[in-house]
Structure 1
Amino acid sequence: MSLLAPERPVRTHLADPPARPRSRWAALPVLLVAVFMTTLDFFIVNAAGPAARRDLDAGATAMQTVLIGYGMAYAAGLITAGRLGDLYGPRRVFAAGLALFTAASAACGLAPDAEFLVGARIVQGLAAALMGPQVLALLGTLFPGADRARAFAWYGATVGLAGTGGQVVGGLLVAVDPAGLGWRTCFLVNIPLGAAALLFAPAVLPRGERSVPDRNGLDLLGAALAAAGLIAVVLPLAAAPEAGTSWWTWPVLASAVPLFAAFAAQQRRRTAAGRGLLVDPAVFRERGFAAGLLCIALLFGASAGLTSVLAVGLQDGAGLSPLAAGAICTALNAGFFATSMHTGRLTGRLGSRLPLIGAAVLAAGLAATGWAAPATGTSVPLGLIAGLAVTGAGMGLLMAPLTAAALVGVRTRLSGTAAAVLGTVQEVAGALGIAVTGLVFHQTLGAGLPAAGDPRWTTAFRAASVLLVLAASAIAAVHIRARAVRD
């Protein structure tokens, strides 16, 4: 018996009966509602934050924790959530996460003070983590062949719609102020969506076999060590744009080393004892998974890095108002949404060539964006808008194919773990992309904050763009190497 295998029989997804075509597509809206809600909540708080701070008389630290706490809980819980999906089945864990997310959204909307809101947001993040790996695992299981490309195209489009519309939806809800609820509506809007998804989930999601799961399969100590290590890496990087480099940044980052060392040692002891591991190393040997992880890390790092320096460049460098800067950024969102809706059809035509085309489009868009960086405080070149649209189109061409390519060769018993690792890599890569791109940007900008229209803004933005173009080019290089290995 393999040391990585459960010691007792567990319910496995391999025996699940194949879903009929109609029932497969009936499950898709339920899964996408969960994706939409959890993605929207990353961004909608940016619009609700100022009003919530005034209403709750909260300090800056508390509201920063409201913003960051969700993402930290999400990143820290993904690996454990993936393991739970492997042990108990993605359907059950998804339903539990959906119910918890809906309840936590109600708690956020009814929060009497900032401390309560922070706690509810952390629970929201954990609930989102429970759902995230299960959505990807269920999409991979339910949709074989050409249908998988279409399903992941809808997944990518949903992520793009929620991400691009988050601040817009939040702003509208706060402005309209239904029932006098103000910022609370940004959280309460999840209740009808979550309730509807919970109502239909039992009828449309596939059922697994019923049996007693392996109690040694869930490694709680390993989960705690891995979560602590991830938080030690991601928290300083995520907080840096708002808080800058604080006294605690380097000690917290340094603490990740002993935490991950302790995790590795603990996993070795469990292996020697023949007990289940939190992350089965076999998942990294699955066909195309490691290369897919690297490509997705580069994509998410480049995307997060661009948006972070773009906001600063447009407002402080070009002298635009937040509303005007947001309007410029819609070009990026529009390009993403336009192409992500067609990746299913394009995958059928182009196959493995689509990621190469997407990487080339992304690199070209980033180069054009950097070249057209605003150099005056009074106008924004049309070339910048065009460059952002092309950049968004490249991102849209890449997201679904890269996600599907990373998971297509993963065996069903490892699908939850693979999806969790994938989600964790996305979160860490995003934070790392912001940190590294911001470092290049601010080092080039120099000390102090130049006035709007100062040529140093253009130089700094172009330097950051060179880094991002290299990341896009690396996606193509890794994909070509992975194809050569497979062939």
Structure 2
Amino acid sequence: MSPSRWWALPVVLVAVFMTTLDFFVANLAIPSIRAGLAASGSQAQLVIAAYGLAYAAGLVVAGRLGDLYGPRRVFLAGLAVFTLASAACGSAPSPGALVVARAAQGVAAALLAPQVLTLLGALYRGADRPRAFGWYGTAVGLAGVGGQAIGGLLVAADPMGLGWRACFLVNVPLGLAALVLTPWLVPAPAAGAAGAARTGAAAGARSGGLDVLGAGLVAAGLVAVVLPLVQGREQGWPAWTWPCLAASVPLLAAFARRQRWLAASGRQPLLDLDVFAAKGFASGLAAVALLFGGSAGVSFVLALYLQEGLRLGPLAAGLVCTALNAGFFAASLRTASLAGRLGHRLPLAGAVTLVLGLASLHHAVGGAGAVPYRVAGALLVTGAGMGLVMSPLVSAVLARVRPARAGAAAGVLGTVQETGGVLGGTVTGTVLLGSLSAGWPAAAQAGLAVPMVCALGVLAVLALTKPARAPAPACA
């Protein structure tokens, strides 16, 4: 492979770093956003949920767009939208404008995610491929570990008086640089891959192209679930919330029926629902949804509790939160070696560690004597549990699907991850904000009860599920 292709790697990974960083940075900036824009609790939740919800709904479509129009072209489109949306976030004059801009960021992140994986797979072959994907994992890990500390630093430093806005505006120069460099440094997929993409595009054209109706149904179904959960508590659960929640069932059912009809008629569905026929795949997805829901819930509790409950500054709060991601990163680096010793029991061991970490965190935030170093210690164990369970769990879920359906399975998995995160963060926020009258320690403990239930659910699913015969090896 030409050495010049390695210049493409940092350009592609800038997109990975920005989209991962943006979730953690926004979490840390929530208290400053609430103060700066006079945002309500539900509006603050929507700032986080809008990104994850748009990302989840967009993933269903983004992979198909890459097949139709080519991964580099869609990658450039995603970069452009993400950069513009980041500028809109940083200049938002109201909570509503910020929520809309965050949703646009989520759509752009969804456009980028599958194209990054496609480009890495097409540009790097043989022994170079593990190295490239290793750097991909490092970029995700570094964004996770440093995200909240970077957010705290930006808010505390207040560059040019921007405050929380700097957390979003920092993406603009990075995005512009990547946009300029991509045409020069990121080649189009090699002839074979390009030919396959063109073949896929032609097939897509013959089969009706993008399923716009299906995309609308799944997006509407997800919004019908999340919107009433976010807005209902603050508005006293008005009458519209219940029909809205109920509407999600027929909308998602209609999406499923349409996908089956498209597949049966020889057309290309957005999601190949036959992947659910693989034994243990659905239960594995349930564990993934619970895991990501619990993770998002912990992040939301910490963002508010550390700054508004313990009265820490944004930088100090970011450093405490870094313990969670540091534990995750350190444990993830050990999954490959531990998998050799524990085999299929590794996810179960990780789930037990996660439950113990959350139990210690629940204890650490209770009472008036809570101190940051105890919270950080509990977060380190919690993060380690997440790191031990996440990689082998995802690997085992995908191992249950035949290689011919691996792409569809990965799309379903990504959608479940993001949807689980949105719902977990939303439900946790609803419980936390609804318990504030009892004081911050009690509210934090109430909020953390949701991630604890999620972790116990993961443990139960893993304990009851028979391991795949040949699970893919976990890797850092």
Aligned to 1:449: 437
Q: Give 1:389's aligned residue.
A: 380
Q: Does 1:432 align with 2:420?
A: no
Match of 2:26 among 45, 66, 78: 45
CA distance in 2, matches of 1:356, 1:234: 30
Contact 2:271 2:411 in 1 (8 A): no
1:259 aligns to 2:251 (yes or no): yes
Q: Does 1:321 align with 2:314?
A: no
1:470 to 446, 456, 468: 456
Residues in 2 aligned to 1:124 and 1:169: alpha-carbon distance in whole angstroms: 19
- Whether 1:234 aligns to 2:226 is yes
- 1:400 counterpart residue number: 391
Pick one of 209, 213, 216 that aligns with 2:194. 209
| Equivalent residue for 2:115, pick from 134, 145, 158 | 134
* Structure 1 CA distance for aligned equivalents of residues 433 and 30 of structure 2: 26
Following superposition, the deviation at residue 71 of structure 1 comes to 2.7
Asked whether the equivalents of residues 320 and 377 of structure 1 are also in contact (C-alpha less than 8 Å), the reply is no
Shift of residue 299 of structure 1? Answer: 1.6
The 1:249–1:415 alpha-carbon spacing in structure 2 relative to 1, beyond 3 Å, is same
Moved more, 265-274 or 93-102: 265-274
SS at match of 1:276: coil
- Give the Cα–Cα distance (whole angstroms) in 2 for the partners of residues 243 and 25 of structure 1: 53
User: In the alignment, which of 182, 195, 220 is matched to residue 176 of structure 2?
Assistant: 195
The SS at the match of 1:332 is helix
Residue 418 of structure 1 is matched in structure 2 by 409
Query: Do the aligned residues in 2 keep the contact of 1:74 with 1:128 (CA within 8 Å)?
Result: yes
Offset of residue 37 of structure 1: 0.9
Q: 1:222 aligns with which of 211, 214, 229?
A: 214
The alpha carbon displacement at 1:79 in A equals 0.5
In the alignment, structure 1 residue 83 sits paired with structure 2 residue 64: yes
Q: Residues 403 and 286 of structure 1: is their aligned pair in 2 closer, same or farther, counting only changes over 3 Å?
A: same
In structure 2, the residue matched to 1:168 is 149
CA pair 465-47 structure 1, distance change in 2 beyond 3 A:
closer
Is the CA contact 2:292–2:424 (under 8 Å) kept in the aligned structure 1?
yes
Q: Please state whether the residue corresponding to 2:178 is helix, strand or coil.
A: helix
* Cα shift readout 1:147-197 (whole Å, capped 9, x = no counterpart): 877766654554444345444323433443444544443323212322343
Letter in 2 for 1:393: A
Q: How many residues align?
A: 459
For residue 322 of structure 1, report the CA deviation from its aligned partner.
4.4
Distance 1:410 1:471 in 2: 23
Q: Deviations over 1:365-418 (max 9, x none)?
A: 234434x34443033496654332111112123333434444467678755543
Matching residue's letter, 1:129: A
Q: Does 1:377 align with 2:363?
A: no
1:452 and 1:174, CA in 2 relative to 1: closer, same or farther beyond 3 A? closer
The counterpart of 1:359, out of the listed 351, 370, 383, is 351
When residues 113 and 391 of structure 1 are mapped into structure 2, their CA distance, relative to the original with a 3 A threshold, is: closer
- Offset of residue 137 of structure 1: 4.7
- Aligned-residue offset at 1:106: 3.2
Q: 1:440 to 1:231 in 2, by over 3 A?
A: closer
Partner of 1:339: 331
Is residue 70 of structure 2 the alignment partner of residue 70 of structure 1? no
Q: Supply the distance in 1 between the matched residues of 2:433 and 2:163 (Cα, whole angstroms).
A: 36
TM-score, length basis structure 2: 0.77
Partner of 1:270: 262
The alpha-carbon distance between structure 1 residues 181 and 366, as it changes in their structure 2 partners (threshold 3 A), is closer
Query: Take 1:398 and 1:146, find their aligned partners in 2: how far apart are those partners?
Result: 27
Sort the Cα spacing of 1:276 and 1:178 in 2 relative to 1 into closer, same or farther, 3 A.
same
**1:256 deviation in Å?**
0.5
Alpha-carbon distance in structure 1 between the residues aligned to 2:432 and 2:165: 36
Task: Indicate yes or no: 2:242 matched with 1:250.
Answer: yes
What's the offset of the Cα at 1:425? 0.6
Moved more, 430-439 or 86-95: 430-439
Compared with structure 1, are the counterparts of its residues 412 and 238 closer, same or farther at alpha carbon in structure 2 (3 Å cutoff)? farther
Corresponding residue number in structure 2 for 1:122: 103
In structure 1, C-alpha distance between the alignment counterparts of 2:15 and 2:251, rounded to whole Å = 32
- Structure 2, unmatched stretches of 5+, are none
Q: Structure 1: which 5+ runs fail to align? A: 1-19
Task: Please give the per-residue CA displacement for 1:434-467, whole angstroms capped at 9, x wherever unaligned.
Answer: 4566788899x7xx8335667x986x57865752
> What's the % identity of the aligned pairs?
56
Q: More deviation in 249-258 or 383-392? A: 383-392
The DSSP-based 3-state class of the residue aligned with 2:468 is helix
Aligned AA (2:329): F
Alpha carbon RMSD of aligned pairs, Å? Answer: 4.4
Contact 1:335 1:390 in 2 (8 A): yes
Deviations 1:99-128 (A, max 9, x none): 321233234445566665544333222111
Aligned to 2:16: 35
- TM-score of the superposed pair, with normalisation by structure 1: 0.75
Alpha-carbon separation, structure 2, partners of 1:366 and 1:125: 28
What corresponds to 1:185 in structure 2? 166
CA offset digits 1:32-76 (Å, max 9, x no partner)? 321221122224335556666777788887766544433332222
Relative to 1, partners in 2 of residues 1:99 and 1:292: Cα closer, same or farther, differing over 3 Å? farther
Q: Distance in 2 between matches of 1:260 and 1:69?
A: 19
